[in-house]
């Protein structure tokens, strides 16, 4: 029976994924509110009731999608190790950004959802996403504080700057998904980081 059960479970997972995919695309295209259950089930090719066999509510699908995405992002962001034997921080940074980048670019609908979910600001899930970004921002801020303490980072308001850095990455991503051309992830990651580290002015001029 184990075999039959396994097969059934696989089929179930498959269905669940189909619904998630259909919902994700629609949420990305039209926002949470405008995407109706009717459209989701039409795109998923299932009946009305079937939807509720896999998810308790419209909110629940949305939550599943975002929760998964946030989790996937979370695991791709690894605190930089500054120990002796560790790889150079610059490389670690690049790897972090590259991982996030390649994940997001593998799923354009998702990035859309994360960057511009059309949820009421006071909705639980909106706050969940916000708190994720706040968490990342804190991570950046504390890195900046550390950098300042060791004289690597120039004196600045860590929180504000962290918000800017995160914003610049979001802006970069926005641009990348909209521009249809493909590109080298590592290369782009370098550019994103370079901007945050050195800005746009040529170094020589900053000296004068």
Partner DNA sequence: AATGAATGAGGGTTCATTCAT
Partner DNA sequence: CATGAATGAACCCTCATTCAT
Beta carbon of residue 154, minimum distance to its own copies (angstroms, whole number): 5
Window 39 to 68, contacts with DNA (CB under 7 A): 46-54, 56-59
Q: Which does 47 bind (CB under 5 to 8 A by kind): DNA, its own copies, none?
A: DNA
HSE-CB of 117 using CA atoms within 13 angstroms:
24
Q: How far apart are CA 196 and CA 194, in angstroms?
A: 5
Residues 6+ positions from 80 with CB-CB distance below 8 Å:
89, 92, 93, 96, 143
- How far apart are CB 111 and its own copies at their closest, in Å? 12
Number of amino acids touching its own copies (CB under 8 A): 58
Q: Which residue has the tokens 């998964």?
A: 68
Q: How many C-beta atoms lie closer than 10 Å to residue 138's C-beta?
A: 13
- Site residues, DNA (CB under 7 A): 8, 11-12, 15, 33-38, 46-54, 56-59
Chain residues in the site for its own copies (CB under 8 A): 28-34, 112, 116, 118-123, 137, 144, 147, 151-154, 156-157, 159-172, 174-176, 179, 188, 191-192, 194-203, 205-207
């Amino acid at each position: 029976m184990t075999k039959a059960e396994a097969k059934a479970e696989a089929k179930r997972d498959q269905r669940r994924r189909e619904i998630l995919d259909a919902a994700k695309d629609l949420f990305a295209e039209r926002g949470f509110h405008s995407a109706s259950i009717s459209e989701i089930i039409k795109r998923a090719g299932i009946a009305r009731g079937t939807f509720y066999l896999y998810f308790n509510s419209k909110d629940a699908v949305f939550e599943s999608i975002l929760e998964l995405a946030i989790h996937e992002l979370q695991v791709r962001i690894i605190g930089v190790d500054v120990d002796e034997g560790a790889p150079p921080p610059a490389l670690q940074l690049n790897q972090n950004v590259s991982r996030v980048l390649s994940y997001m670019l593998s799923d354009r609908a998702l990035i859309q959802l994360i960057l511009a979910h059309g949820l009421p600001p006071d909705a639980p899930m909106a706050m969940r996403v916000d708190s994720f970004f706040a968490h990342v921002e804190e991570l950046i801020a504390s890195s900046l504080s550390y950098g300042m303490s060791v004289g690597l980072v120039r004196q600045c308001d860590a929180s504000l700057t962290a918000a800017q850095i995160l914003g610049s990455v979001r802006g970069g991503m926005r641009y990348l998904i909209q521009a249809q051309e493909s590109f080298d992830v590592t290369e782009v990651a370098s550019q994103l980081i370079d901007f945050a580290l050195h800005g746009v002015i040529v170094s020589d001029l900053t000296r004068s």
